[in-house]
Amino acid sequence: MPTPILSYRDARLFKGDREHRILAGAIHYFRVHPELWEDRLTRLKAMGANTVDTYVAWNFHQERREDAPDFSGWRDLGRFIDLAGDLGLDVIVRPGPYICAEWDNGGFPSWLTGTPDIMLRSTDPRFTGPVGEWLDHLVPVIASRQAAEGGPVVAVQVENEYGSYGDSAAYIRWSAEALRERGITELLFTADGGSDYYLDGGAVPEIWATATLGSRGAEAIDVWKRRRPTEPFFNVEFWGGWFDHWGEAHHVRPGSEAAAEIRTMLDAGGSLCVYMAHGGTNFGLGAGANEDGGIQPTVTSYDSDAPIAENGALTEKFHAIRAEFLRAQGLAEDEWPALPAALLEPAAVLPARTLELSPARLPLLDSLRAGLDSAVAAGEHHPSERPLSFEEIGQHHGLLFHRATAVLPGREDAPQECLLKLPELHDRAQIWVDGEPVGILDDTTGTAGLAVQGHGREVVLEILVENLGRINYGPYTGQRKGLLGGVLINQRFTLGWEHLVVDPTRFGAEDLAGLATAAFEADAPADTYLALPGSTKGFVWVNGFLLGRYWEIGPQETLYVPAPLVKAGRNTVHVLELGVSGGTVELREAPQLGATRVDVLTEAELA
């Protein structure tokens, strides 16, 4: 087996025979338009980094089990690695199979996590079998680009933050061996939080243990000196910023405060990777969710208050971190290389304007009914006694429309109030009775239900369930989506359902033509920031590309439209509104990610 280019002894890291320090930043290829990969990597190098770190999102490459994993186009991981190498950057690959990353389902495809009774992230053969098949496709892309083969890949992660989830050393060793037997020869490492608790569950003696933390670096270094005295300290995820949830406020962290924490770890001789150096965007339906007494869906932007902003701008934090990286390389300030002028110039932006949004061909409910009627005629309506889940239908994300008839208690001359309850609802449901909207329930209100009036006669129940993003962290990772507990009228189940899949990621020209539409002209491709003032909630496309979700609850007000999505001439915007349309689309000249939640993140959030 070739000798790994990175090695360590006496708590020092070496590259070949020279002492080395990793100064890295994370960029996820799946969150950046591929025409911008080189630009964002160039900006990372200009920050003083010598290494780029990326996760690999399994469900980005293989959403359906029957399809072979796709490594073409936007999914061309090999090209991303090659571009980094061409720029002189080393590459660290974190293939999971679990990645967290605030990415939908932590990177797992739902066909895997929906396997009945499966134990994720364990030696359960129902889990390791599909993982092995995935690695058969993935690892050759990485292995052929290792340093031993003349490529830039210098290290590969084993699983990810496993000590936050489980404690099976056998599984960690299986994961390492699965990489080795498929051709990974470079240095392997695990990554866990910076305390004994996380190391207890996720680290094994024979694999380099690295840390993930955003504060209290000195405390973590002391833990490593005590627990892993022969290993160099490497914070593979320094959380220099934070992500946002819908309904909360935008997180920021001052660059000076982040840089001070970085200095602490670098002065102690450690290596460090800024997470994120450039966050990018959760395009389409890639955003995941957390769970804390209810689902906390992540917004479409993954700017994360990173040093390289979502639009590529070099922020105050960029300059603060660059100073620490260059200082760690032994360079006095008067020796720092000048930043290329092109990197300091703002990106071209389309002029601000307001576009009239023509109404959809049909109102939402009428459109759903027409789609379901067509599915019934074609025998594609998935009839069942109880409502089917997303997993049972084989649907990873989007929406499911359900229809059934029920008798609501009461009499025509004496209406009776009853409760329509959706126990175990995941995640959000809009409900109509005989075509009239009666309310919205979610995972925190579904069990209590909502009051509706019954007259002792049969009514049509119609329910549109939205998957707000699959949970990406903790024991609820892999949680199923849909009307998992059925539909109750008081204590009585409603049976006999029809179903329609509504998958915005697969809308074609005919689907888009029926949506609300606006258009704008552009002299040349340029960035823009799209807002829908007055609109409630939904999905938006530019030139047929699904940007992601918008939602009036914020904090995110604008969606980033990178220049490669804009073309010279006429451009179209399509909107699927789930509530009330504001009637216009605005193109703005700067992002609005919402009012900030705090000036400095608390230690609890960064720990």
Helix (H/G/I), strand (E/B), else coil: 33: coil
Helices 77-86 + 37-46 axis angle, to 10: 40
CA–CA distance, 365 with 314 (Å, rounded to integer): 45
Q: How is residue 444 written in tokens? A: 């925190």
Report how many helices (DSSP H) and strands (DSSP E) the chain contains, helices first. Answer: 15, 33
Q: How far is CA 462 from CA 435, 470, 485, in A?
A: 8, 23, 16
Helix (H/G/I), strand (E/B), else coil: 554: coil
By CB neighbour count within 10 A (0-12 exposed, 13-18 middle, 19+ buried), where does 543 fall? middle
Q: How is residue 25 written in tokens? A: 């930043």
Strand partners, 540: 548, 575
Active site residue 237: yes
CA–CA distance, 504 with 467 (Å, rounded to integer): 12
Amino acid at 69: P
Cβ atoms of 15 and 22 closer than 8 Å: no
Active site residue 316: no
Candidate list 63, 237, 462, 586, residue with the active-site label: 237
Candidate list 161, 186, 310, 466, residue with the active-site label: 161
By CB neighbour count within 10 A (0-12 exposed, 13-18 middle, 19+ buried), where does 497 fall? buried
Sheet holding 516-522, edge to edge: 516-522, 569-577, 537-542, 545-551
- β-pair type (353-356, 584-588): antiparallel
Cβ atoms of 541 and 574 closer than 8 Å: yes
Annotated catalytic residues are 161, 237
